[in-house]
């Protein structure tokens, strides 16, 4: 009798794929987050000035915001089929990989640069390649700490709220538990990361600036979450088709337990 191999199980393969995609997006979001982009200029529209808590500004976000909505989506999908344990496992794994990545980034910065390499990109307008490398990959420790703490807290809140809503709605209203969990978790995440990085950190933002920027960031994340609702249904349908109705139902039942 043939012995079934672990990797022949479609549910196992699905979890590996989802976990890998989740982790690479989380790590990339951290590393590209050092760049701040102007949303209005990117879209080619006139600047939109917000006025909150006595502060004003345009719509500027970290490049990491391009990927965090994908992380939210993956969190909800893994929550749906693999439950609390699955989300916690990949969240801790992603956090560990982020720390691992930054440790090696700082190690790379500390390596003595080759003399010829320092000036290798002068033709592209980069006078000192080592300084540019350090500026891009050497994010401040307060920013890294704030992002990691907010990420873990946000993920734990997300999984708790998701299953609380699911216990009330059952299999219905996928959009409600996905968007509802994101609404609560990202409210905490948006404020925690900026508080640690820019209020407790060396920049010492005033409370009004902290509240204003946090609110704008949260509004962006919620708009992205709402925009992704149709994609949640598409991904969910694709997974059910891949696993089969019976296996998918078994996983959802186990995830809800």
pLDDT single digits (tens) 163-184: 999 888 877 888 889 889 999 9
CATH number at residue 144: 1.10.1760
**Alpha-carbon torsion (237, 239, 244, 246), positive or negative:** negative
* Interval 224-238 mean pLDDT: 91
Residue 231 located in a structural domain: yes
Residue 201 located in a structural domain: yes
Residue 115 located in a structural domain: no
Instruction: Kindly report the average pLDDT of the chain as a whole number.
Output: 89
pLDDT, tens digit (0-9, with 9 covering 90-100), for 64-97 = 888 888 888 899 999 999 999 999 999 999 999 9
* pLDDT greater than 70 at residue 4: no
Secondary structure of residue 61 in the 3-state scheme: strand
Q: Name the DSSP letter for residue 110.
A: H
Residue 232 located in a structural domain: yes
Total domains in the chain come to: 1
Residue 49: what pLDDT?
83
| CB 193 within 8 Å of CB 146 | yes
Structure tokens at 182: 């994101």
For residue 51, report the phi and psi dihedrals to the nearest 5 degrees.
-130, 110
Residue 3: what pLDDT?
52
Candidate from 148-152, 198-202, 228-232, 245-249 with smallest mean pLDDT: 198-202
* Interval 224-250 mean pLDDT: 92
Neighbours of 106 (CB within 10 A): 15
Range of the domain at 23: 9-108+128-256
Residue 114 located in a structural domain: no
* pTM recorded for the entire structure: 0.88
Per cent of the chain over pLDDT 90 is 51
Residue 39: what pLDDT?
86
Burial of 68 (0-12, 13-18, 19+ CB in 10 A): buried
Neighbours of 45 (CB within 10 A): 10
Query: How far from 71 is each of 83, 122, 183, 184, 199, CA to CA, in Å?
Result: 16, 37, 14, 15, 26
* Interval 4-18 mean pLDDT: 87
| CB 196 within 8 Å of CB 150 | yes
Length of the chain: 257
């Amino acid at each position: 009798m043939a012995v079934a191999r672990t990797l022949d199980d479609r549910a196992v393969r699905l979890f590996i794929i989802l976990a890998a995609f989740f982790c690479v997006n989380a790590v990339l979001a951290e590393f590209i987050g050092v760049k701040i982009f102007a949303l209005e200029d990117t879209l080619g529209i006139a600047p939109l000035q917000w006025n909150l808590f006595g502060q004003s500004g345009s719509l500027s976000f970290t490049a990491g915001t391009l990927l965090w909505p994908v992380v939210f989506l993956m969190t909800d999908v893994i929550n749906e089929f693999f439950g609390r344990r699955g989300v916690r496992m990949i969240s801790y794994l992603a956090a560990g990989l982020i720390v691992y990545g930054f440790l090696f980034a700082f190690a790379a910065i500390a390596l003595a640069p080759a003399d010829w390499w320092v000036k290798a990109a002068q033709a592209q307008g980069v006078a000192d390649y080592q300084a540019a490398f350090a500026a891009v990959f050497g994010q401040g420790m307060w920013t890294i700490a704030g992002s990691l703490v907010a990420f873990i807290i946000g993920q734990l809140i997300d999984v708790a709220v998701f299953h609380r809503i699911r216990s009330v709605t059952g299999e219905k209203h996928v959009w409600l538990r996905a968007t509802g969990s994101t609404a609560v978790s990202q409210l905490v995440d948006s404020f925690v990361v900026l508080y640690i990085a820019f209020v407790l950190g060396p920049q010492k933002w005033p409370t009004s600036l902290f509240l204003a920027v946090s609110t704008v960031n949260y509004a962006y994340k919620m708009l992205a979450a709402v925009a992704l609702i149709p994609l949640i249904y598409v991904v969910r349908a694709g997974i059910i088709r891949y696993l089969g109705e019976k296996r998918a139902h078994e996983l959802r039942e186990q995830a809800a337990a």
